Structure 1
Amino acid sequence: MTTAEQAPTVPEVLRPWIAGLRTLTFAEPPEETFVQLPDAVTKVVLRMTADGRREVLAVGPRVRASYHEGKAHISCVELRLAPGTAGPLLGVPAAALLGRAVALDEVPGAAGRRLARELGRLDPREAGPRLAEVLPGLLSAAVDPARAALLRAGVEALSVRADREPARVREVARELAVSERQLRNLFAEGVGVSPKHYARIDRVRTVATRAGSARWAELAAATGYFDQAHMSSDFRSLMGVPPRSYAMGRLPALTPCQAGFRRAGEVPPQGLGGEGGKPTP
């Protein structure tokens, strides 16, 4: 096997901060295009190349898909941060990393540098089991429990689930007893995109992962779209091709990896950020 991917269970002790884990190892370049789906999650990625060089990246939300040639001899572990934890753990709001990847030790603040230093000592191929030993002492940053619970309830309500359609932003605000403006501010700080944009990204990701498994009209209804045309329009906007083309492997042209932030402290103000940060792995 030239490519190995695992999604180990997040240890209980890490769940207040880490929503998901994924490890990837590429012994040889993948035969297929490496697709990065839109993703409204902030991640910390530990990556190691064939020569043993390690880097720890803070990767912000990505609002559009990108397509790349796979790389060989790379191992990485990806920590998907729980909503609302980017600020306390990394020292910057999620919106400041929108569309970007930056060396974690270049993010302003001591918290990110400590996390980068400890993670940089690990081998990504063996990091999964060791994270529960290494991280609890570093993840002591104070997270407002009430604010985090409110944000996570909003994320849950706006996400596609097998047993229901995602709620509308107005409905979520009413259910959580906050104004839509308050909900937008909460999402900008803790998720990095607006509630409406979060829902849009989540729907498109769901369509991409289920493409070919159901009729398009049924998939549109299950993911909360008004109709198939609405789904196709959203999908093309974020993925670069219509759903049918994506399912058949007719993808946009490949793009090279691009660096995100190049200088220490070069973090844009909250709410700003480009679209094409450094892809991972």
Structure 2
Amino acid sequence: MTNALAEQALPVPETVRPWITDIASVRVTGPLEDSFTHVPDTATQVVVRVGADGRRDMMVVGPRTRAAYHADADKQVVSCVQVRLGPGATRPLLGVPAVDLVGRVLPLRELPSATARQLARALADLEQEEYAAHLAATLPSPATPSRDRLLRAAVAALSTHHDRTPAPVQDVARELAVSERQLRNLFAEGVGVSPKHYARIHRVRHVLTHATTAPWAELAAATGYYDQSHMTADFRTLMGVPPRAFFTGRLPRATPCQATRHR
């Protein structure tokens, strides 16, 4: 996030937390840089972009398995709202498994579910401060079948936190009394990436957040890597450059961002 962007967390009603984990409002407050970075992300998002002419684009942004570096930032966008869907929410709300959205950006209205089409119509007219109340009033009551409970437990076990590193995939499968194949199927449907890749993305995002708080070797150990070289190799795979290069601005060549241009 650059100084030209101001981000604000919007309230998420408790009734929709099984569907939605976060809602963020991002506004352009100054000149944008010529290039920008999209870091890997395991969440599917519904994004509402508002242009300088007031036009709104309602999009679905699927999980990103690797970082992307784009040139020609869209200077016509003045704000956006990002609604992050929770594990297992993609098919019930959007009508497709999460794995079908990996690396893709699609108009929300083109998703097959009635909920997606209703959201596209509503978000075209509502103000940002009305989003939370509308979601609480219109999203269906979430069911909690055993598959959803398994997925959420697995996601929690494979996530990186400041006081806990992700558990090995085989240990998570054994603890939940499922096979590793069943666990992979759960993640493909409900998250979009494999359990192993989910854990890798979360470790790298943890490094991105805490890189200035500890020496590399200490950060590697605290994040669950075998050693610093393991962290560097994983970071390079997902971010395209090793940590030192990334944090000193030596980034891969930026490419034009075609997927998110106005149609």
TM beyond 0.5: yes
C-alpha displacement at 1:216, in angstroms? 0.8
CA gap 1:23/1:279 in 2 versus in 1, 3 angstroms: farther
Paired residue secondary structure (2:80): strand
Q: Would the aligned equivalents of 2:93 and 2:113 in 1 still touch at CA under 8 Å?
A: no
C-alpha displacement at 1:108, in angstroms? 2.0
Aligned: 1:50 with 2:52: yes
| Matching residue of 1:96 | 100
Aligned: 1:111 with 2:93: no
Residues 241-256 of structure 1: pairs in structure 2 closer than 5 A:
241-256=241-256
Q: Which of 71, 74, 77 in structure 1 is aligned with 2:74? A: 71
| Matching residue of 2:158 | 158
Structure 2 CA distance for aligned equivalents of residues 214 and 108 of structure 1: 46
| Matching residue of 1:138 | 138
Residues 258-277 of structure 1: pairs in structure 2 closer than 5 A:
258-259=258-259
TM-score (norm 1): 0.86
Structure 2 CA distance for aligned equivalents of residues 97 and 22 of structure 1: 21
Unpaired runs of at least 5, structure 2: none
TM-score (norm 2): 0.92
Structure 2 CA distance for aligned equivalents of residues 78 and 85 of structure 1: 15
C-alpha displacement at 1:179, in angstroms? 0.9
Q: Which of 23, 40, 43 in structure 1 is aligned with 2:42? A: 40
1:154-184: CA deviations, max 9, x gaps? 1110011111221010111111111111110
C-alpha displacement at 1:57, in angstroms? 0.7
Q: Would the aligned equivalents of 1:83 and 1:151 in 2 still touch at CA under 8 Å?
A: yes
Residues 104-253 of structure 1: pairs in structure 2 closer than 5 A:
104-123=108-127, 127=128, 129-140=129-140, 143-253=143-253
Q: Would the aligned equivalents of 1:151 and 1:186 in 2 still touch at CA under 8 Å?
A: yes
Q: Would the aligned equivalents of 1:26 and 1:71 in 2 still touch at CA under 8 Å?
A: no
1:115-172: CA deviations, max 9, x gaps? 111112124xxx1x31232112331165444322211111110011111221010111
Q: RCO greater where, 1 or 2, for CA within 8 Å and sep 6 or more?
A: 1
Structure 1 CA distance for aligned equivalents of residues 253 and 126 of structure 2: 35
Greater Cα shift, 131-140 or 142-151: 142-151
Q: Would the aligned equivalents of 1:29 and 1:71 in 2 still touch at CA under 8 Å?
A: no
| Matching residue of 1:30 | 32
Unpaired runs of at least 5, structure 1: 260-277
Identity of aligned residues (%): 57
Structure 1 CA distance for aligned equivalents of residues 14 and 175 of structure 2: 28
Aligned residues: 258
Q: Would the aligned equivalents of 2:18 and 2:142 in 1 still touch at CA under 8 Å?
A: no
Structure 2 CA distance for aligned equivalents of residues 5 and 68 of structure 1: 20
Paired residue secondary structure (1:38): coil
Which structure 1 residue ranges, 4+ long, deviate > 3 Å from structure 2? 69-73, 141-145
TM-align CA RMSD: 1.9
